[in-house]
Chains A and B, each alone.
Chain A
């Protein structure tokens, strides 16, 4: 068996990213779309850590640390927005939130 290299980790990261992208495109529940966004962020994190390890450079890991922190802040704001929207519209489906549509 060949040793685990960078491309293995990149393949996992890419597949996870596409799973998240598919979730954002196909699902209509706003919370599940949000979870798919988290999946995509995590996939990017995995790619960054893998690059950092295989290039012998710690800067990538610092970047991932920052991404995790910003993602936590982003999740809290996004969920507050979803709660506020749900209070106004009593719905968590993106089809019901089409006020901006022409």
Chain B
């Protein structure tokens, strides 16, 4: 890989992590949602770097488009105010950070031990959309069709759940 792609990788990785961090730290839910959009878009940049062009497009269309509009609509409907400064329970925060830290420690250790198992040279796979589509409609045809039923079920469920008098 050339130096330019390296710089692009670090740019997108940094943007992803920074915006992800801002999602969980900002007090206003709308700001959080906006930073989540930025996270998803920069992650699509990482997908492009991994030669997964179709998935990058789907990521932007489905996540940054549909899902985030849904989030913003719900924030609007609930009329959420900016969160007042609640007292953060120190015990909970400490235990949470401890849990995340310990899992992170295991992760770093396993990553360091696996470092020599993978070849760092540039791979040959290009995630071309025709190949992906062929795979989707041959090997994965049944899951694909089941997925459409799942979407239908989710749609019916959501319509039922949002009825005024929920029984």
Q: Are A75 and B70 in touch, CB under 8 angstroms?
A: yes
A71 within 8 A of B: yes
| Residues of B in contact with A (beta carbons under 8 Å apart) | 1, 3, 5-6, 9, 13, 16-17, 20-21, 23-24, 29, 32-33, 36, 39-40, 43, 46-47, 49-52, 54-55, 58-59, 62-63, 66-67, 70-71, 74-75, 77-78, 80, 83, 86, 88, 92-93, 95-97, 99-100, 103-104, 107-108, 111, 114-115, 118, 120-125, 127, 131-132, 135-136, 139-140, 143, 147, 150-151, 153-155, 157-158, 161-162, 166
Closest to A82 in B: B74
Q: Are A72 and B66 in touch, CB under 8 angstroms?
A: yes
Q: Are B47 and A35 in touch, CB under 8 angstroms?
A: no
- 13 chain-A/chain-B pairs, Cβ below 8 angstroms: A35-B24, A35-B71, A49-B50, A49-B55, A53-B50, A54-B123, A58-B125, A66-B143, A73-B150, A73-B151, A73-B154, A80-B157, A83-B162
Q: Are A31 and B74 in touch, CB under 8 angstroms?
A: yes
Residues in B whose Cβ lies below 8 Å from that of A68: 55, 58-59, 62-63
Q: Are A27 and B125 in touch, CB under 8 angstroms?
A: no
Residues in B whose Cβ lies below 8 Å from that of A1: 3, 6
Main SS at interface, chain A: helix
Q: What's the Cα separation between A12 and B139 when bound, in Å?
A: 30
